[in-house]
Amino acid sequence: MSGEARFLTVIPAKAGTQTESFSRKCDLGRRAKVLGLGPRLRGDDNSWNRNTNMSSVEAIRQSLASLDWIAEEKDIEKLSKDYYWFSPLLKQALDDKRADAVVRPRTREELASIVAECAKTKTPITMRGAGTGNYGQSIPLHGGLVIDMSSMNRIVSIERGMATVEAGCKLLDLEAAANAKGFEQRTYPSTFRLATMGGLFGGGFGGVGSINFGPIYAPSNVLSLKVMTVSETPEIIELQGDDCLALAHAYGTNGIIVDLTIALAPKQHWNESYASFSSFDDAMKFGAALAASPGIVKKQCGIFAAGFTKYMLLLKKLIATDQPYAICLIADSGEAAYRALVAAHGGTVNHWASAEEAASRGRYAHEFCWNHTTMHVLRLDSSFTYLQCILTDPVKQAKALHDQLNPRVMMHFEFIRNAEGAVACGGLPVLKFESKEQIEQDIANFESHGAFVMNPHVYEVEEGNSKQIDPKQVAAKRRFDRLGLLNPGKLRGWKM
């Protein structure tokens, strides 16, 4: 039965879950510390051997020869990487990491057959959506097999304000299908043209729309998941509600997401607007007022320091040179109140146009927000990098940080609601890279003002998030990946 998962009997599920069964089935040497800043590079049980991996992968390829294997070495290299190069530290640490092979399953049955063979041969697995993450989420530390989910991209259903999609479904395709039925996605990243739903949940945060609905993992944004276990006889287990959250932003270390059911929002007609302000403090006060205004229907509000204007060449006609600015998405009904709010904070509306007009030009305003802002800067000057943080008292904290660090650090804050519903800011400040020590000092500077920093220069799940081991994430890995094959080396809690 080489290459196929054996027939399984249905195993009774715990309360609140549903279990389905399938009918088809480096030598790392010393532990190396990444530039003294990142987590220690290690294999689970320190046992991964690259030569063994390559032998196992070749055996899997022969056993499953009919699958869609990526043949070209340059394509394997490309599909082993993400946007880790935003961080000079990650670039140095991860440049030489790559998979031994890449395969694209087209169905659950194909996916199950791959996973079963990996389990039999103890071959490391790294799951991949579109590779738009920034922390090396989809970069294999120990070779093995990258499973590219982009061909498992079906939209299963859209009804009653909910969508069920396969993990490889592109957000752009989902948005078009949802719009046709009178809905839209609640939140999506600036990389929406490429990003997948599974990748967003497993490795992302949120983005446009988070000003209303918070991060993707806020309660009731994702309603259920179907997760495949890593074993010689893979199973599908359905998780509901808060049980899904153990797999959120876990970099695919603790379960293979097969499909997701998400909540949608009613479709709105959106307008893009750019507004300039005389001071960064005024811009932040405007953003806070907009976020707190319940009657103004909005989907986006990002605030940018004046220093960004010289890097936004495509916005030259839409923003005032050397002035802080805001990029917003506002519904038709909110135009008058929005314009009044800008004026009340000493600002000027430089541009107002339908998002449909932007679509016809092929470029959206939110592609200059979130981490697309960082990318636009890096395209002109690769010596920059960035930090990530959360502000819980946005106006006060942003003013203190701007007063202390501007212009060396260009402040960029996106207004959101946190998972509990309070107004907050996600920060993506951009700064010149000098050294590891300088990054550490700037993290300390932000933390001294009460900012919660999520370090984007490390690749371990815990180090880039709460810095604490999450027992629920570890329990999920124990449940879905007892062999420790998924993205090994990324979940510190698995070793402890």
Q: How far apart are CA 487 and CA 43, in angstroms?
A: 10
* Predicted local distance difference test score (pLDDT) of residue 48: 64
Q: Which of 413, 409, 408, 418 lies closest to 398, judged by CA?
A: 413
pLDDT at 17 over 70: no
- Report the pLDDT value the prediction gives residue 5, as an integer from 0 to 100: 35
Q: Is the pLDDT of residue 46 over 60?
A: no
Mean pLDDT over the full length of the chain: 90
Contact 152, 158 (CB under 8 A): no
Characterize 332-362 residue by residue with b for buried, 16 or more Cβ atoms within 10 angstroms of its Cβ, and e for exposed.
Answer: eebeeebbebbeebebebbbeeebeebeeee
Query: How far is the C-alpha of 268 from the C-alpha of 334, rounded, in Å?
Result: 12
Pairing of strands 145-148, 101-104: parallel
SS3 assignment for 228-284: ECCCCCCEEEEEEHHHHHHHCCCCCCCCEEEEEEEEEEECCCEEEEEEECCCHHHHH
Mean pLDDT of 261-288: 98
Q: What's the pLDDT band for 18 if we cut at 50, 70, 90? A: very low
Is the separation of the CB atoms in 411 and 398 below 8 Å?
yes
- Entry pTM: 0.89
Query: Above 90 in pLDDT, residue 391?
Result: yes
Q: Quick one: average pLDDT of 43-65? A: 76
Least confident of 11-15, 207-211, 314-318: 11-15
The mean pLDDT value for 404-413 works out to: 98
Average pLDDT over residues 310-326: 96
Q: What would the mean pLDDT of 79-96 be, rounded to a whole number? A: 98
Q: What is the pLDDT of residues 177-194, one digit of tens each?
A: 999 999 999 999 999 999
For the segment 163-176, what is each residue's pLDDT rounded down to a tens digit? 999 999 999 999 99
| Mean pLDDT along residues 40-57 | 60
Q: Is residue 45 predicted with pLDDT exceeding 70?
A: no
| pLDDT greater than 60 at residue 23 | no
- Residue 496: the pLDDT is 60
pLDDT band at 52 (very low <50, low <70, confident <90, very high): low
Query: Is the separation of the CB atoms in 37 and 91 below 8 Å?
Result: no
Q: Which domains does the chain have, with CATH numbers?
A: 18-149+476-489 (3.30.43.10), 155-267 (3.30.465.10), 270-433 (3.40.462.10)
Q: What letter does residue 12 receive in the DSSP assignment?
A: P
For the chain, percent of residues with pLDDT exceeding 90: 85
